[in-house]
Structure 1
Amino acid sequence: MVDIVVTGYGIKAPGILDKCSFLNVLENGICTQSILKSENPAQGDLVAGVIDEDFLELNKRSYARHPRAVRMAIAAAIDASEMANIDYFKSQRVAVIMGTSAGAVLEIEQYSAAAFNLKTFPIHGVSLVDSHTFSNSVAEALGLRGTAFTITTGCTASLDAILIAKQLLEAGSVDACIVGGADVPLGQWTINGFKKIRALSTATAIENAGVPFSKDHKGFVLSEGAGVIVLERRQSAQARNQKIYGKIERVISRNEGQKLLRSDATGKHMLEVFQETAGNTKPSYVNSQALGMELNDQIESYILKETFGSEVPITSIKGMIGHTFGAMGVMQVISSLLSMEYGIIPPTIKTKGKGFEHMPIVYEPTYQAVSSVLITAHGSSGNNACLLVTNK
């Protein structure tokens, strides 16, 4: 099997627009969340991860008609492609694979009233409900004419996108892949939806919202964001003297076949995926999906204990930036690449680990050599995905 390596990346998240700002957040355990003011007083304000930039103009081109999530995906993809010098490859030999969960739900919500009047219906209305807009727009912005896929598997979408990209590269179908995810889930539809099932944190103090690994807190923090990495075969990276940031060792994704909005409470399905992804590797740490939801965090505790006991540290970056749905997996990958390059395990902030005292949770920035990181992601209706990235 050929080695699939990362040669570039880009990220847009709350308080984070590039490598340096992301590293600063991770090193110092900075919470970049804020208070999202509600237009309806009856709904109340909400702690959320909000990006201040609008990304309406990128590379001197207007993207005003593109959904906000797509604009963020393009911005992250531009950064990743420049870092990887993607122009080296023939445009038809570069694939674009983007993952999303909420899609353009924000714009669909905004234009919902106009949809029933042909005169007021936006000319770009069709593209708002077409998830292919994500991958197609990234490809167009970068001048690429290869394979383009959009993956809509919820919170595991960007890890699923990486899985497909790895398979395409191993098969020799393409020479490079622009792969990642983007989501802007801060509309009322998403907020009310997760409030309805009591999954969203309703705490009004930032330090008490979306607290990983804590029985004293409940619910996660919604956040917008985008992350993109560039994958290629090791041979091509070495042939053109391109810096390699990490190797995608293994990615496994499976669905439990559960009913709508359900997932396996025993954690046995996630355990299988976790252990198969780890293989014989004892990672430097686990970059966890834990986000403040009781069942998900308990499953994270279970799979760690069953596999490594207390020998492998675990951390979650979601107390800092919140949960970005389909973009989260690739953002965890990028944070892991920074860990390996700079020798740091980022802290799990906000929590004191109430109810998880037995776990080797990293509470403070820890400087040490990092050779491999195991990344976890869960999705509603039973999607489980794990990825192992190494510095080999």
Structure 2
Amino acid sequence: MQSRRRSSRLVTRLPVGRPRAHQPRLRSRWREVMNASDKQFNRRGSDPVLITGIGVVSSLGNSFDAITDSLLAGRSGVRSVDLGPLARDRQQFAAPVDDIPSPATARLAADPAAFARMDRLGKIFMSPIASALDDAGMPADLHGLRIGLVMGLGAEQLKAWENDFLVGGRLVYEPHRDASLVHRIAGILGIDGPAVTVAAACASSGFAIAIGRQWLQSGWVDACVVGGCDMLSPSGIAAFYNLRALSRRKDDPAKASRPFDRDRDGFVMGEGGAFLVLENRSHAQQRGARVYGEVAGVGMSSDAFHMVIPSTDPTHAARAISLALADAAVTPDSLDYINAHAAGTPVGDVAEAGAIRLALGSAADHVPVSSTKSISGHLVSGAAAFEAVACLAAICRQAVPPTVNLDNADEKCPLDHVPHTARQRRVDITASNSFGFGGANLCLVIRKAL
């Protein structure tokens, strides 16, 4: 119940009040809205896409209020962990999810035991998806309601390979389940609109948000649940360690993730992610939805450079930022905050700082920039969606989250950093960068709903 409580000061409410009705009336109202929206199909492209529901699971908390408090207080979720023989003697700390809330009973009416039967990865996805639907005031029975699902996920079957390794290695190919995770979750929750998984490394959940926004603008769905998550994986940690992407510090875990700091030596793995419910403004108004903000712009590009090393040429990443700003029709100097991808790698942080300066020009001197990975760790597939929620937290509380552990800013990253403590200021327009391995670049512009 705690995850569904929130202070009225955290959200913007549209003029139409949400009907306080039981499920049959809620479904009836939804169908009225759906029928009306069908008539407006050709006008969808100019209708702003709003965020009307949030679900999160992370080391910083499992509700919007909880992670907002943690982000602004700079409370780290990184701690010592033992992930078994594959990860042992490599990175000995991470930001794990300690508790995965079970969905409300009404959401599992078709199969009450479905959540209990899921493996850890399935639960990490199912929990925030169900929470986002609840938060948006969606009815329990979703059949026929033109709702889509886009999940960002990089490696669905990784755990099967790990388990096989521990028993001596018997598999020659990955075992296939009866359905992919996205379709199992859609089936359990009754989401019968389009459902897909997108993989773009560390930008996966950001691309999921972009795809869901496009579906809404095209009129293919009336609402879309978008986002992504990731699970701590011993083999993933071993692989990133061997790539020399992870921090090799052995002292205080909470001080290991140091984006933009001159003493950074790699990132710290995190776990969890976030899902958002997106709707066109006309649809949200008709059903009296609560609104957190607007996905105002999206920009994408590719480095076409290397599978794991960021390009030292900032042009490609800067193009994604510039395209997002143009899509949102905002100028660089109108930005109030940038949530940087900055994971704490020696090369990546410098490359991103260069991209920000190239895209923003002189405005880069006064637009606050921070990396929340300093306390959440790197959520990989879930990072972009989680950091979109961090932007919403900044908008709702009118404060910029800090970069914790930024003791000495690298002179090669000349930005308006926010070290150690949150900065109170007006925050209406934000940008969130996500730059994935292989050169998948994405920027989201998230703003206060107008």
- TM-score, with length taken from structure 1: 0.91
Paired residues of 1:58 and 1:75 also in contact (CA < 8 A) = no
Counterpart selection for 2:205 from 131, 145, 158? 158
**Which has the higher Rg, Structure 1 or Structure 2?**
2
In structure 2, how many angstroms separate the alpha carbons of the residues matched to 1:54 and 1:239?
A: 33
Counterpart of 1:192 in structure 2: which amino acid?
A
User: Residue 376 in 1 paired to residue 415 in 2?
Assistant: no
Aligned to 1:274: 321
In structure 1, how many angstroms separate the alpha carbons of the residues matched to 2:142 and 2:285?
A: 14
In structure 2, how many angstroms separate the alpha carbons of the residues matched to 1:64 and 1:110?
A: 20
User: Residue 52 in 1 paired to residue 98 in 2?
Assistant: yes
Counterpart selection for 1:326 from 381, 387, 393? 381
Secondary structure, counterpart of 2:263 in structure 1: coil
Aligned to 2:273: 226
Change (3 A) 1:91 1:104: farther
Change (3 A) 1:201 1:37: same
Counterpart of 2:417 in structure 1: which amino acid?
I
Structure 1 residue 62, shift from structure 2 partner: 4.2
Structure 1 residue 38, shift from structure 2 partner: 4.9
Secondary structure, counterpart of 2:224 in structure 1: strand
Change (3 A) 1:117 1:237: closer
In structure 1, how many angstroms separate the alpha carbons of the residues matched to 2:425 and 2:392?
A: 14
In structure 2, how many angstroms separate the alpha carbons of the residues matched to 1:54 and 1:111?
A: 25
Secondary structure, counterpart of 1:155 in structure 2: coil
Aligned to 1:242: 289
In structure 2, how many angstroms separate the alpha carbons of the residues matched to 1:27 and 1:206?
A: 19
Aligned to 2:177: 127
Change (3 A) 1:45 1:362: closer
Counterpart selection for 1:197 from 243, 257, 267? 243
Structure 1 moving runs of 4+ over 4 Å: 54-58
User: Residue 209 in 1 paired to residue 253 in 2?
Assistant: no
Counterpart selection for 2:368 from 276, 292, 313? 313
Aligned to 2:136: 84
In structure 2, how many angstroms separate the alpha carbons of the residues matched to 1:283 and 1:46?
A: 38
**CA offset digits 1:205-236 (Å, max 9, x no partner):** 21431210012121000111121000010001
Aligned to 1:288: 340
User: Residue 359 in 1 paired to residue 415 in 2?
Assistant: yes
Structure 1 residue 321, shift from structure 2 partner: 0.7
The farther-off stretch of 108-117 and 172-181 is 108-117
Change (3 A) 1:261 1:21: same
Counterpart selection for 2:350 from 298, 308, 314? 298
Structure 1 residue 348, shift from structure 2 partner: 0.6
Unpaired runs of 5+ residues, structure 1, are none
In structure 1, how many angstroms separate the alpha carbons of the residues matched to 2:265 and 2:171?
A: 42
Paired residues of 1:225 and 1:324 also in contact (CA < 8 A) = yes
Counterpart selection for 2:311 from 264, 275, 282? 264
Secondary structure, counterpart of 1:126 in structure 2: coil
**How many residue pairs were aligned?**
384
In structure 2, how many angstroms separate the alpha carbons of the residues matched to 1:258 and 1:45?
A: 28
Counterpart of 1:165 in structure 2: which amino acid?
G
Secondary structure, counterpart of 1:127 in structure 2: coil
**CA offset digits 1:333-392 (Å, max 9, x no partner):** 111112111211111101124324732101221222210110001111111000001112
Q: How does 1:56-71 map to 2 (within 5 A)?
A: 59=105, 61-71=113-123
Paired residues of 2:164 and 2:171 also in contact (CA < 8 A) = no
Change (3 A) 1:116 1:176: same
**CA offset digits 1:156-196 (Å, max 9, x no partner):** 11111111111110010111001110111x32211111111
The farther-off stretch of 324-333 and 45-54 is 45-54
Change (3 A) 1:93 1:115: farther
In structure 2, how many angstroms separate the alpha carbons of the residues matched to 1:57 and 1:332?
A: 23
Secondary structure, counterpart of 2:443 in structure 1: strand
Secondary structure, counterpart of 1:69 in structure 2: helix
In structure 2, how many angstroms separate the alpha carbons of the residues matched to 1:163 and 1:273?
A: 13
In structure 2, how many angstroms separate the alpha carbons of the residues matched to 1:286 and 1:38?
A: 33
User: Residue 348 in 1 paired to residue 409 in 2?
Assistant: no
In structure 1, how many angstroms separate the alpha carbons of the residues matched to 2:368 and 2:307?
A: 33
Paired residues of 2:257 and 2:375 also in contact (CA < 8 A) = no
User: Residue 116 in 1 paired to residue 170 in 2?
Assistant: yes
In structure 2, how many angstroms separate the alpha carbons of the residues matched to 1:262 and 1:39?
A: 28
